[in-house]
């Protein structure tokens, strides 16, 4: 991996100076501050005259703010990765919806900055940014005080649990605010309802098995690739699940 070329965008000179010093201490990956900007106009001028691997971007700036600037950056032919650096944690969900690589809060610690730059480097090695229209769909989840981007392709099922929805991947579970009906309306081509409380990824269906449920008695359950857990299938949805397995 070559040295990462960084554009710093912050209306406060002291904030840029601190970031520049921290970047000088980063060696894995190595990076260089190739340009600085105090506002969105200066940033776009810099982006039009040279290429960067990443933009470290403040959110609250006079005039065009960082979120709006990130939207403009995304329209460039070869947009650099965006890492938000801000004193405010509030806009984290909006930031990740703009496909930000990371979201750092001030004062920035060296280790967190290093982690963000490593994410940038991994994206470059993986061939990012993707071609237009090929961006991976993600769920933006606020979980235990932080915000995560969970690729939809990794989700095996959604299950309603009282006032929230459990999102299950091979590695772990997440808690999502929302409803199954909203998720079904949005992702119905990729997920199917098997019960009033569950949607499963169509691609993940492995088997349909007879199953005894303490509450519902004899019935059927579906088994998904990679999970030992069985998910109950309602009589109403049984035909659709059978069709998905035999398709």
CA dihedral 6→54→64→131, nearest 10 degrees, is 150
In contact, 156 and 224? CB cutoff 8 Å? yes
230 and 120 in a common domain: no
Most confident range (mean pLDDT) of 10-14, 65-69, 92-96, 186-190 is 10-14
Residue 9 lies in a domain: yes
Residue 98: pLDDT band (50, 70, 90) is low
Domain containing 87 — which CATH number? 3.40.50.2300
221 and 116 in a common domain: no
DSSP secondary structure, the chain, as one string: -PPEEEEEE-S-HHHHHHHHHHHHT-BTTBEEEEEEESSHHHHHHHHHHS--SEEEE-S--SSS-HHHHHHHHTTSSSPPEEEEEES--TTHHHHHHTT-SEEEESSPPHHHHHHHHHHHHHHHHTTPSPPTT-PPPEEEEEETTEEEEEEGGGEEEEEEETTEEEEEESS-EEEE-S-HHHHHHHHTTTEEEEETTEEEEGGGEEEEEEEEETTTEEEEEEEETT---EEEE-GGGHHHHHHHHH-
Spatial CA neighbour of 193 closest among 246, 137, 240: 240
121 and 144 in a common domain: no
Containing structural domain, residue 58: 4-125
183 bridge partner residues: none
Domain containing 149 — which CATH number? 2.40.50.1020
177 and 81 in a common domain: no
162 and 234 in a common domain: yes
In contact, 169 and 156? CB cutoff 8 Å? yes
Residue 168 lies in a domain: yes
159 and 94 in a common domain: no
- Please tell me the pTM assigned to this model: 0.52
Spatial CA neighbour of 7 closest among 74, 55, 66: 55
159 and 232 in a common domain: yes
| 39 contacts: CB under 8 Å, gap ≥ 6 | 9, 11, 61, 62, 63, 64
Residue 133 lies in a domain: no
106 and 30 in a common domain: yes
Picking from 58, 92, 125, the residue at the C-terminal end of a domain is: 125
Picking from 80, 98, 125, the residue at the C-terminal end of a domain is: 125
Picking from 71, 98, 125, the residue at the C-terminal end of a domain is: 125
145 and 48 in a common domain: no
180 and 112 in a common domain: no
Q: What is the mean pLDDT of residues 13-37?
A: 91
Q: What is the mean pLDDT of residues 91-119?
A: 78
Residue 221 lies in a domain: yes
Domain count, the chain: 2
Q: How far apart are CA 187 and CA 201, in angstroms?
A: 10
- Region of 127 on the Ramachandran plot (φ > 0 left; ψ -120 to 50 alpha; else beta): left
Q: Is the pLDDT of residue 177 over 90?
A: no
Average pLDDT of the chain is: 84
The DSSP bridge pattern shows strands 102-105 and 138-143 to be unpaired
Share of the chain above pLDDT 90, in %: 36
Residue 132 lies in a domain: no
Residue 130: pLDDT band (50, 70, 90) is very low
In contact, 113 and 139? CB cutoff 8 Å? no
161 and 106 in a common domain: no
Residue 135 lies in a domain: no
88 and 187 in a common domain: no
């Amino acid at each position: 991996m070559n040295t990462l070329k960084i554009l710093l965008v912050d209306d406060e000179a002291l904030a840029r100076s601190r970031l520049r010093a921290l970047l000088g201490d980063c060696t894995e990956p190595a990076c260089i501050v190739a340009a600085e900007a105090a506002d969105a106009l200066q940033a776009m001028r810099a982006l039009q005259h040279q290429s960067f691997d990443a933009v470290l971007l403040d959110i609250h700036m006079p005039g065009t703010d960082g979120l709006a600037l990130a939207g403009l950056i995304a329209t460039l032919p070869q947009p650099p990765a965006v890492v938000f650096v801000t004193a405010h944690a509030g806009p984290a969900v909006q930031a990740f919806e703009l496909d930000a690589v990371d979201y750092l809060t001030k004062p920035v610690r060296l280790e967190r900055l290093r982690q963000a730059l490593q994410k940038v480097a991994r994206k470059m090695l993986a061939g990012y940014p993707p071609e237009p229209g090929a961006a991976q769909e993600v769920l933006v989840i606020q979980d235990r005080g932080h915000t995560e981007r969970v690729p939809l392709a990794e989700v095996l099922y959604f299950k309603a649990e009282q006032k929230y929805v459990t999102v299950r991947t091979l590695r772990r579970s997440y808690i999502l605010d929302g409803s199954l009906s909203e998720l079904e309306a949005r992702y119905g081509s990729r997920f199917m309802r098997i019960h009033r409380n569950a949607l499963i990824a169509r691609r993940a269906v492995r088997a349909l098995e007879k199953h005894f449920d303490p509450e519902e008695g004899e019935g059927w359950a579906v088994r998904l690739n990679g999970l030992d857990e069985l998910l109950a299938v309602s009589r109403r949805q049984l035909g659709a699940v059978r069709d998905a397995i035999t398709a």
